[in-house]
A and B are shown apart, each in its own frame.
Chain A
Amino acid sequence: MTTGNGFAVRADRVSRHYEMGTALIRAVDGVTLEIRAGEFVALLGSSGSGKSTLLNLMAGLDRPSGGAIFANGRNLSELSSLELARYRSRTVGMVFQSFNLLPRMTLEENVELPLRLAEVDRAERGARVQESLQRVRLEKRLGHRPSEMSGGEQQRAALARALVNRPTILFADEPTGNLDSATGETIMLLLKEIQQNLGMTIIMVTHERPLAERFADRIVALADGKLLSDGVKS
């Protein structure tokens, strides 16, 4: 799904400011960015550059202080809390650095959770969970809890959970940050495979330039909340 003119997400002079005591923190400051459907975009920057904040704004987890973000044909900042929740549920998939699987649930239950929230019929859920787990090659670990899985497996499980509602945009916040380089590479290959096979838009936050250069179609660099560069790889 696009915002029109082939864009999956469009940020228009978007800002996110925080007040900390008397100081005003400009985490994102007037960023304008257009991401086309099916693109694999890496948001690159050092710690505190505003890349995760921008990702949260585009994923509908946070609301901008100024400007607008268009996704799914609508301005996210004008959506009600319920509409924003539906956007996160049906349009967006999220992968985090620390996996964020629910430790009390099995792999199957973790992956099924977004289907429950989206009120998908119970009869359909089993097949959807299977499909998702097969895509990340974890279909044989259904009954395992996160604590019984390696870091790489946990991130693959998180990826399966992000894909189970068949989103059009996948947001990944430092997906390899907690993994060794070999496992990180496996995850990146998996992301690339998903982008190519499903035509999904992937927006990934990373501070590792080599990883971004190797896998992303486009690298958007941020520093101090501002857009530093926006380059499409040749």
Chain B
Amino acid sequence: MKASDLAELALRNLREAILRSSLTTLGVAVGVASLVAWLSLGIGLQSLATKRLSNSGLFDTVVVTQRRSLPSSRRQPAETSPAKDARPLDDDAKKDFEKLPNVVEVYSQIRFPTEVRFNGNPYSTIVAGIPASSQGNGSFDGMQGNFFSSPDADEAILQIEFARDLSSQPNSLIGKDVMLRYAERQALPPSTEGGAKGSDSTDDNAGGFSIVPREKTLHIVGIIETEPAAGFGGFGSGRLLIPQNVASTLRAAQVNDLRDAVRATSKKPVYASLTVRAKTPSMVEGIETAIKNMGFGTFSLLDATKNLRVFFTIFDMLLFIFGSLALAVATLGIINTLVMAILERRREIGILKALGAADRDVKQLFFVEAGVMGLLGGILGVGFGWLVGRAVTIGTNIYLKRQSLPSADVFSVPWWLVLSAIGIAVLVSLVAGLYPASRAARLNPVEALRYE
């Protein structure tokens, strides 16, 4: 029989037994919905965790330090010192890192204590430089106001707790100015014995530095609820955030400047550490290896991301098994429906065979009926699963809102899951139809015609 005739007859048969076909299809739909809902939850949670961790800057960054020699005995100080033949972590090295594939940005951590004056009152706080790449990593999602208008803008974003210190109505601070009072390093002429260095190399302090008080007016453009981060020791404790370039030009004295000043190994200025940000966490490994090969010490949370992936793979597998249980029950429903259809249509099968239907035709007819139920059930099931996901997300977000927590999308239904779920539904239905279809095909036409 031609495929079009087969499909036409199968659809007609399903229409004629509309109630039973619908209930069976609904059974498949419930099974697929269960599968989709569970897997969407797993994928959603994985995506949420990955996004949150990625936003933390812990998983897509490599911290680079000068290679250091380890202490050889207990009597030596616990802190390590740079290896004698180590390549200096200077601007040349920074440029080399920037040229590596999949590197988004390379920057040094700039964080310094300062005094902020607002409405004539002084407030002590920590200022942190924010690299431009932070805007796109989700750290600033949901902030009040805007991100910096440019990497060199004299603008500030306040952390909410600090903003509350300045005003009882934090949002009203947006658009106002604050005065920053800080300690600027000024380079001294190099001594004959060698140079000192600072943690930020934008100024030349190879010969040591002096401290000069400075002031800077900044325009408040935004307020952020959470603490954005950018790698280990990132901006976490920064309560007033300014563009990295601006922070760099301030040449503000930082907490570890004194320690670094006495550790001079090069006449050129060097960094205490540099943070290299990769496009995605999966690219960290390659970048880390390349930097190590250049002769630097590196640190990343690569193993932690691998463990996270293993955890979610197992988690998704368990959710798949839970979801599949309902689909297994639906499979029995299909078998039951088709076996009942054989009993009911025994005489019809006999007539078809008497009129020239081959065993293959009868088998295919039942197969197509099973496949159509699977296809419709799969499509419906994906829809139901999506609705369940939306309902759970809405419920979760209402709860999170009541707990004063930011909203989260705990469900994710990617296209591959939609297509796979429909494919699985059709496949399972066809497998379920195997036995009934074979049984129908094997019917003896003479016996089938006698059946009343």
Contact = CB atoms under 8 A, between A and B. Distances in A.
- B and A form one assembly: yes
Interface string B2-35: 1011000100100010000000000000000000
A36 interface: no
A82 B356 contact: no
Contacts of B4: 122
B1 to A, nearest CB: 6
Contact of B9 (A86, A116, A118): A116
Interface in A132-180: 161, 165
Contact of B357 (A56, A96, A117, A161): A117
Given A62-B446, A81-B358, A85-B357, A102 B9 contact: no
Contact of B355 (A56, A81, A114): A114
A188 interface: no
A90 interface: yes
B346 to A, nearest CB: 12
Contacts of B359: 81-82, 85
A223 to B, nearest CB: 21
Contacts of B357: 85, 89, 117
B353 A116 contact: no
A227 to B, nearest CB: 21
A104 B12 contact: yes
A89 B444 CA distance: 16
Interface in A60-86: 61-62, 81-82, 85-86
A100 B1 contact: no
Contact of B445 (A61, A86, A89): A61
Contact of B356 (A56, A85, A105): A85
Contacts of A118: 356
Contacts of B350: 100
A160 B176 CA distance: 93
Interface string A82-106: 1001101110001010001010110
A117 B449 contact: no
A113 interface: yes
A86 B5 CA distance: 17
B353 A88 contact: yes
B449 to A, nearest CB: 7
A92 B356 CA distance: 9
Q: Is the interface of B mostly helix, strand, loop or mixed?
A: helix
Give the one of B351, B355, B446 with max A CB within 10 A: B355
A124 interface: no
Nearest to B357: A117
A119 interface: yes
A122 B12 CA distance: 18
Contact of A82 (B2, B5, B16, B360): B360
Contact of B5 (A96, A105, A116): A116
Contact of B354 (A81, A88, A119, A122): A88
A86 B354 contact: no
B361 interface: yes
A32 B12 CA distance: 44
Interface in B221-264: none
B347 A100 contact: yes
Contacts of B360: 82
A46 B361 CA distance: 36
A119 B5 CA distance: 9
Contact of A89 (B9, B348, B355): B355
B449 A100 contact: yes
Given A82-B358, A85-B357, A116-B2, A56 B446 contact: yes
B273 to A, nearest CB: 77
Interface in B327-355: 347-348, 350-355
Nearest to B354: A94
Contacts of A116: 1-2, 5, 9
Contacts of A113: 352, 355
A8 to B, nearest CB: 18
A129 to B, nearest CB: 14
A114 B356 contact: yes
Nearest to B360: A82
B1 A94 contact: no
Contacts of B445: 61-62
B356 A62 contact: no
Give the one of A82, A90, A102, A114 with max B CB within 10 A: A102
A117 B361 contact: yes
B355 A117 contact: yes
A26 B71 CA distance: 103
Contact of B446 (A61, A88, A90, A117): A61
Contact of A86 (B348, B352, B356, B444): B356
A90 B9 CA distance: 20
Nearest to B15: A104
B311 to A, nearest CB: 54
Nearest to A90: B356
B449 A85 contact: no
Contacts of A161: 355
A100 B360 CA distance: 22
Give the one of B348, B358, B449 with max A CB within 10 A: B358
B150 to A, nearest CB: 69
Contacts of B348: 102
20 contacts: A59-B354, A61-B353, A61-B445, A82-B359, A85-B356, A86-B356, A88-B354, A94-B354, A94-B355, A100-B351, A100-B354, A104-B12, A114-B355, A114-B356, A117-B357, A119-B1, A119-B2, A119-B5, A122-B4, A161-B355
Closest 6 pairs between A and B when the two form their complex, measured CB to CB:
A89-B356, A85-B358, A116-B5, A117-B356, A88-B356, A114-B355
Interface of B: 1-2, 4-5, 9, 12, 16, 347-348, 350-361, 444-446, 449
Interface of A: 56, 59, 61-62, 81-82, 85-86, 88-90, 94, 96, 100, 102, 104-105, 113-114, 116-119, 122, 161, 165
Given A85-B358, A89-B355, 7 more contacts: A56-B446, A61-B449, A82-B358, A88-B356, A102-B351, A114-B356, A117-B356
